[in-house]
């Protein structure tokens, strides 16, 4: 039974004699069961664990099944949970009340196991549809969000590009001009030393000291170098934003061997990774892919470095797998790192989103990667469990529609 087919059932039943056989039966079918003894416990479990199905007894001590159902339905979740009430024959009143409170189905007690099994299977079908709907919706929301962030990024990049350009060029000129100024200053100083009038010599020497000329001669070139470095970094960020937002889209798709690309990329970053993680490659048999190899390598590099950064104290493992179907190839990077909490999963592709300390990450790695995969008409998805690790799954078309790539790269 795959994980998708395996359900998490919350069984709410105050009678142990009644609960145990039902629990055993469901578990024997391969599902997981959590037991709650009253309505309050059911609500608490629901919030903590978000099961797939709730089997809810009606009459229980405390708030009872109907009120528990009402409270559960008030809790906002992003997927549907089936609530099946268990009621005794003749309890039509409570049945109606239960359905009104938010239950979907009912079973007559004592529950017949064959009926229970059929109900679970029906819920399984609903859960499956529900999950794929949820995935589609998430995907849509994500795509739309990335499109608007892309527009914003393109706008910012465009606006910043121009001033950065002239600041960069001005600093270059300033550097050259200052070199000339220092040259003439040196020449003047030499002449000054030969001055016959000692008073004038002393005056010049004191002014030189007062203005701290020796320090300026050291500091000005250092300031210029630092400014050049800063501006270069801003230029790189602007370029990353442009890449992310599809500006300058002149893509040269060529057939390439992705395994070679991954291998050469890993060689480049091996120093950054080797102490943090062992790399395991499980390459499948995949054809050459029509792509911009250098761009995909950048994605592989970002994923590998992120995976290494996610490792804790001990040395972890990064597994890279590849495979293909008829028209697509897939590549996964799986790490045994810290995992990505649900709350931030939808943000990791946003430009400048980072959880790393200042100076360690700019938060552009994944947004760039997202942009690159989009340009390849592919998808990039995350599966992650906090404390266990993360998998990034990339899927790419083997051929790009409307191009004719016949030559090979690498």
Ligand X SMILES: Nc1ncnc2c1ncn2[C@@H]1O[C@H](COP(=O)(O)OP(=O)(O)OP(=O)(O)O)[C@@H](O)[C@H]1O
Q: In this chain, which of 84, 86, 238, 340 binds ligand X, going by CB under 6 A?
A: 340
**Which residues have CB under 8 Å from 290's CB, separation 6+?**
253, 254, 255, 256, 397, 398, 399, 400, 403, 405
Which residue pairs, CB below 8 angstroms and at least 24 apart, start in 367-370?
A: 367/149, 367/153, 367/240, 367/244, 368/240, 368/243, 368/244, 368/298, 368/299, 368/302, 369/298, 369/299, 369/302, 369/303, 370/146, 370/244
The pair of structure tokens assigned to 62 is: 């405390």
Residue 64 interacts, among Mg ion, ligand X, none and using kind-specific CB cut-offs from 5 to 8 Å, with none
* Residue 113, helix vs strand vs coil: helix
110 cis-preceded (ω within 30 degrees of 0): yes
| Residue list 346-365, contact with Mg ion (CB under 5 A) | 365
Distance CA 393, CA 33 (A): 31
Distance CA 20, CA 39 (A): 18
The pair of structure tokens assigned to 235 is: 């230029």
Q: In this chain, which of 94, 265, 306, 384 binds Mg ion, going by CB under 5 A?
A: 306
Query: Measured from the CB atom, is 204 or 269 closer to Mg ion?
Result: 269
Q: In this chain, which of 65, 98, 337, 371 binds ligand X, going by CB under 6 A?
A: 337
Q: Which stretch binds ligand X (CB under 6 A): 23-31, 58-66, 201-209, 337-345?
A: 337-345
387 DSSP 8-state letter: T
The label of the residue with tokens 């190899």 reads 293
Query: Measured from the CB atom, is 255 or 277 closer to Mg ion?
Result: 277
Q: Which residue is nearest to Mg ion (CB)?
A: 365
Q: In this chain, which of 127, 304, 366, 372 binds ligand X, going by CB under 6 A?
A: 366
Total number of residues that touch ligand X (CB under 6 A): 21
Q: Is 32 left (phi over 0), alpha (psi -120 to 50) or beta?
A: beta
Residue 69 interacts, among Mg ion, ligand X, none and using kind-specific CB cut-offs from 5 to 8 Å, with none
Query: Measured from the CB atom, is 94 or 362 closer to ligand X?
Result: 362
Query: Measured from the CB atom, is 306 or 384 closer to Mg ion?
Result: 306
Q: Which stretch binds ligand X (CB under 6 A): 90-98, 103-111, 278-286, 346-354?
A: 346-354
Query: Measured from the CB atom, is 69 or 362 closer to ligand X?
Result: 362
150 binding Mg ion? (CB under 5 A): no
Query: Measured from the CB atom, is 109 or 145 closer to ligand X?
Result: 145
| Residue list 268-327, contact with ligand X (CB under 6 A) | 302, 306-307, 310
Q: In this chain, which of 18, 182, 283, 353 binds ligand X, going by CB under 6 A?
A: 353
Per the DSSP assignment, residues forming a β-bridge with 123 are none
Rounded to a whole number of angstroms, the minimum distance from the CB of residue 300 to ligand X is: 13
Asked whether the beta carbons of 9 and 123 are under 8 A apart, the reply is no
Asked whether the beta carbons of 60 and 89 are under 8 A apart, the reply is no
390 binding ligand X? (CB under 6 A): yes
| Footprint on this chain of ligand X (rule: CB under 6 A) | 302, 306-307, 310, 335, 337-338, 340, 348, 353-356, 361-367, 390
């Amino acid at each position: 039974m795959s994980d998708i087919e395996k359900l998490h059932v919350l069984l709410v039943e105050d009678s142990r004699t009644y609960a145990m056989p039902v629990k055993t039966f469901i578990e024997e079918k391969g599902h997981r069961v959590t037991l709650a003894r009253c309505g309050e416990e059911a609500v608490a479990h629901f919030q903590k664990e978000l099961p797939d199905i709730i089997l809810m007894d009606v009459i229980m001590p405390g708030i009872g099944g109907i009120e528990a159902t009402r409270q559960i339905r008030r809790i906002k979740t992003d997927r549907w949970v089936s609530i099946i009430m268990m009621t005794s024959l003749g309890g039509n009143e409570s049945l109606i009340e239960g359905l009104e409170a938010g239950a979907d189905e009912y079973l007559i007690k004592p529950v017949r196991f064959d009926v229970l099994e059929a109900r679970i299977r029906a819920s399984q079908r609903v859960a499956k549809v529900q999950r794929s709907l949820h995935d589609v919706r998430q995907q849509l929301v994500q795509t739309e969000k990335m499109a608007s962030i892309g527009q914003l990024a393109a706008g910012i990049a465009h606006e910043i590009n121009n001033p950065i350009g002239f600041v960069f060029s001005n600093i270059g000129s300033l550097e050259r001009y200052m070199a000339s100024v220092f040259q003439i200053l040196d020449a003047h100083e030499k002449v000054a030393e030969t001055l016959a009038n000692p008073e004038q010599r002393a005056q010049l020497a004191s002014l030189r000291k007062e203005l701290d000329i020796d320090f300026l001669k050291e500091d000005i070139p250092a300031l210029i170098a630092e400014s050049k470095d800063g501006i270069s970094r801003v230029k790189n960020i602007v370029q990353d934003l442009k890449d992310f937002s599809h500006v300058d889209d002149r893509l040269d798709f060529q057939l390439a061997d992705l395994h070679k690309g991954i291998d050469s990329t890993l060689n480049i970053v091996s120093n950054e990774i080797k102490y943090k993680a062992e790399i395991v490659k499980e390459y499948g048999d995949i054809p050459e892919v029509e792509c911009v190899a250098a761009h995909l390598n950048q994605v592989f590099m970002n994923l590998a470095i992120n995976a290494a950064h996610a490792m804790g104290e001990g040395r972890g493992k990064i597994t890279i797998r590849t495979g293909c179907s008829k028209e697509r190839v897939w590549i996964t990077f799986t790490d045994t790192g810290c995992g990505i909490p649900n709350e931030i999963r939808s943000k990791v592709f946003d430009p400048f989103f980072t959880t790393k300390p200042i100076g360690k990450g700019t938060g552009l790695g994944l947004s760039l990667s997202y942009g690159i995969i989009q340009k390849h008409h592919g998808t990039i998805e995350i599966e992650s469990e906090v404390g266990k690790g993360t998998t990034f799954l990339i899927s790419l078309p083997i051929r790009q529609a409307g191009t004719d790539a016949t030559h090979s790269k690498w």
